[in-house]
Copies of this chain bind each other. A is one copy, B any other.
Amino acid sequence: MSDQRFAQRMLGMSGNVIREILKLTQEPDVISFAGGLPSPESFPADALREITERLLRGPLEGLLQYSTSEGFPPLRELIAARSNQAGIKAGPDNVLILTGSQQGIDLAAKALLDPGDVVLVEEPTYLAALQIFQLYQAKIVPVPGDASGMDMAALDEAIAKHNPKIIYVIPTFRNPSGETWSHDRREDLARRAARSGAYVVEDDPYGALRYDGQALPPVKAFDEAGRVVYLGSFSKIISPGLRVGYAVAAPDLLRRMVIGKQATDVHTSNLSQRLVYEFCASGLLEPHLERVRKIYGEKRDAMLAAIERCFPAGAQWTRPQGGLFIWARLADGISTEKLLPIAVERERVAFIPGSPFYVDGSGANTMRLNFSNASIDGINEGIARLGRVLERALASA
């Protein structure tokens, strides 16, 4: 039987490039800047061990039985309270616990998108989000912008032209560029969503990982009209292996996201929800975050210094105030997609080519570098290796 039995949405779907590359770069001598993996040293293993032991001493029935799709009520309350601190008006009823925040992109798309509906995105943007919107057969339209976010005149034009259902943004320490929207653009975006009837999906997995500069309010803090879905995650700040994230949204949309969740995984693992809850409720999150910020801030500095030392003339790169990624643009004519197998095979170093972060597959000369996972020695050695790959590519170009 041929492909034609599969759904239209599967046409041209090749699987998530990041996930495929993760598999390739697991050999121990490869220094990988490819994934978005937290550092193993950042995991609060001892605290989670203690919490689990404490949970095990109590009755396990509540952990082992089915629970509600919306999530563990005390965790929803805790998230509502944390959201309030960030300037978001929300109660527990506005919170849905997710099996990773990426599930929130999927559920928002499920609630909102019919085939052919338009999703506006920044560019470059998170490749898995592009893939999710493709699976809902949306028309994905990039909106031009700069280091401070989307260009608001271009956004107005795109809204007028396309009447979008969703505007998908990562305003803080964007994946892949590491850049951050300004305060004004955040406010402007919320206003435009309210006016146009589009929903903003505000994806914020990195917001707590700020190493310099002042925290900014989320777009959701300016959401008077209930048009912003805020997606938060514990993956980058506690552990991705637990798969716990959350959505904060207005009741009408949240209700539909709950229906979508009932129809897929029913609810998120109780044990994962409880571990995250107990970790945060015990007051462990803030000191843990301080430790993680210090580790990652040093790694970012090390990678920026190494790039400065080792990358050939003509290369440009971002200097993010937080998050996990640096984004580099090389000389025109260089294809990072072609360089990747060479880099992995000859120099045992890996990165992610930039093209999958663009709607039209452009950005051939761009790459994303993750600085959270490797050690500082690994960063120094890996960027030196990558510098050699780039020098050779330039010499033969």
Contact = CB atoms under 8 A, between A and B. Distances in A.
A66 B22 contact: yes
A1 to B, nearest CB: 5
Given A111-B6, A272-B271, A241 B13 contact: no
A131 B199 CA distance: 25
B6 A64 contact: no
Interface stretch (A33-41, A81-89, A361-369): A33-41
A45 B64 contact: yes
B241 A269 contact: yes
A113 B53 CA distance: 45
Q: Using C-beta atoms within 8 Å of the partner chain, give the interface range for chain A.
A: 35 or more
In the complex, the count of this chain's copies comes to: 2
Contacts of A144: none
Interface string A40-55: 1001010011001100
Max count, chain B CB within 10 A of own CB: residue among A16, A63, A110, A269: A269
B35 A60 contact: no
A275 B239 CA distance: 17
Contacts of A252: 3
A243 B262 contact: no
Interface in A224-248: 225, 227, 235, 239-243
Interface string A278-300: 00000000000000000000000
Contacts of A68: 19, 22-23
A241 B64 CA distance: 4
A102 B264 contact: yes
Interface stretch (A148-156, A212-220, A253-261, A319-327): A253-261
Contacts of A253: 6
Contacts of A161: none
A99 interface: yes
Contacts of A265: 98-100, 102-103, 243, 265
Contact of A10 (B59, B239, B256): B256
Given A43-B61, A111-B6, A269 B256 contact: no
Contacts of A45: 59-61, 64
Interface string A357-389: 000000000000000000000000000000000
A271 B256 contact: no
B240 A268 contact: no
A160 interface: no
Contacts of A131: 259, 262-263
Contacts of A66: 22, 35, 37, 235, 240-241
A259 to B, nearest CB: 5
Contacts of A102: 263-266
Interface of A: 1, 3, 5-10, 13-16, 19, 22-23, 35, 37-38, 40, 43, 45, 48-49, 52-53, 56, 59-69, 98-100, 102-103, 106, 110-115, 117, 128, 131-132, 135, 165, 197, 199, 225, 227, 235, 239-243, 252-253, 255-256, 258-260, 262-272, 275
13 contacts: A7-B113, A8-B114, A10-B259, A16-B259, A16-B262, A19-B69, A40-B61, A40-B65, A43-B60, A64-B242, A103-B264, A131-B262, A135-B259
